[in-house]
Amino acid sequence: MKLAYFATKRSGGSGAPRVGVLTSSGLVDIAERARSAGSTSTWLRDDLQILDLINAWPEPQAELSRLVDGATAISEKEVEFLPPVKPGKMLAIGRNYLDHAAEGGSAPPSAPLIFMKLPNSLTAHESPIVLPTITEQVDYEAELGVVIGKRAKRVNESDALAHVFGYTLVNDVSARDLQFGDGQWIRGKGLDTFAPLGPYITTRDEIADVQSLRIEGRLNGQTMQSSNTSFMIFKVAYLVSYISQGITLEPGDVIATGTPEGVGIFRKPPVLLKPGDTFEVEIEGLGILRNQVVSMKD
């Protein structure tokens, strides 16, 4: 099941945010459909958010399937996508693909390199990546995002995936001059709009093997990154377990699992984001995350 958080486009603005389930004909507004069907489920609210479903899962799953069957859908062209979840914390993993570590001249890490993407950096599918004036080296990073579904505290690796709700797409946008110049990564990775997320969360049951998914990053239609999640140094289950040993993971938290080879800064010459560019992240079974690049306006 693919879940989205969106607003219906209206003249002069957008409608109230809604939760939708993706069908072959578009997005079904869950709250509206449930209301018309006379649902009395305790998880249902008119201002329903995906986090409400995550917290109630798996109770809503069967009813959602019934509600979307034969329901009228809204075209994706008629909606404004919002980040599908607002994570309490968004943790990211550096150098988690062997080829990416090698292209930067680094040895593979002996343990996961963990940093933060800040709440202000969150943005949505088809929303702009804004280039601030304080950096001249903004780069792209196509990544798999893991959405936590159940509280994880000191979980074993063998049990870790049971704490995952689903998967999404992330672009770990990075200001390389700030990242390398500061000596730590918070500012370079945490600027406004530097964490595009979405457009959907695909529930875990839809993905047979999260460590066997094709991942691509495309700049203006040209493939810049092409790999497979099988090449991660630290796999999803290990990351969830490792992080949870000292950082409790809560429902709605997101882990960005690292990017493969092909980022712009290590190309010769470097290929960096500029106004007018479009960058897409595509992961097999999860969809496409697309964002345009714009300059900061005064």
pLDDT surpassing 80 at residue 57: yes
Q: Which residue in this structure is represented by tokens 């109770």?
A: 59
Q: Which two tokens stand for residue 251?
A: 């429902």
Residues for the chain: how many in total? 298
Q: Where in the chain is the domain with CATH 3.90.850.10?
A: 90-295
How does pLDDT run across 58-97, given as a tens digit for each residue? 999 999 999 999 999 999 999 999 999 999 999 999 999 9
For residue 208, how many other CB atoms are within 10 A of its CB? 8
State CA 195 to chain mean position distance. Answer: 8
What order of strands is seen across the sheet that includes strand 287-295?
A: 129-131, 287-295, 278-283, 214-219, 222-228
**64 vs 140: CA distance, rounded Å:** 35
In the 3-class helix/strand/coil scheme, how is the chain assigned residue by residue? CEEEEEEEEECCEECCCEEEEEECCEEEEHHHHHHHCCCCCCCCCCCCCHHHHHHHCCHHHHHHHHHHCCCCCECHHHEEEECCCCCCCEEEEECCEHHHHHHCCCCCCCCCEEEEECHHHEEECCCCEEECCCCCCEECCEEEEEEECCCECCCCHHHHHHHEEEEEEEECCEEHHHHHHHCCCHHHHCCCCCEEEEEEEEEHHHCCCCCCCEEEEEECCEEEEEEEHHHECCCHHHHHHHHHCCCCECCCCEEECCCCCCCCCCCCCCCCCCCCCEEEEEECCCEEEEEEEEECCC
- Choose from 3-17, 42-56, 173-187 the range with maximum mean pLDDT: 173-187
At 72, the amino acid letter reads T
Task: Note the pLDDT of residue 40.
Answer: 84
pLDDT surpassing 80 at residue 14: no
How does pLDDT run across 110-149, given as a tens digit for each residue? 999 999 999 999 999 999 999 999 999 999 999 999 999 9
Architecture label for domain 90-295: Alpha-Beta Complex (3.90)
For residue 50, how many other CB atoms are within 10 A of its CB? 24
Task: Note the pLDDT of residue 45.
Answer: 83
pLDDT surpassing 80 at residue 9: no
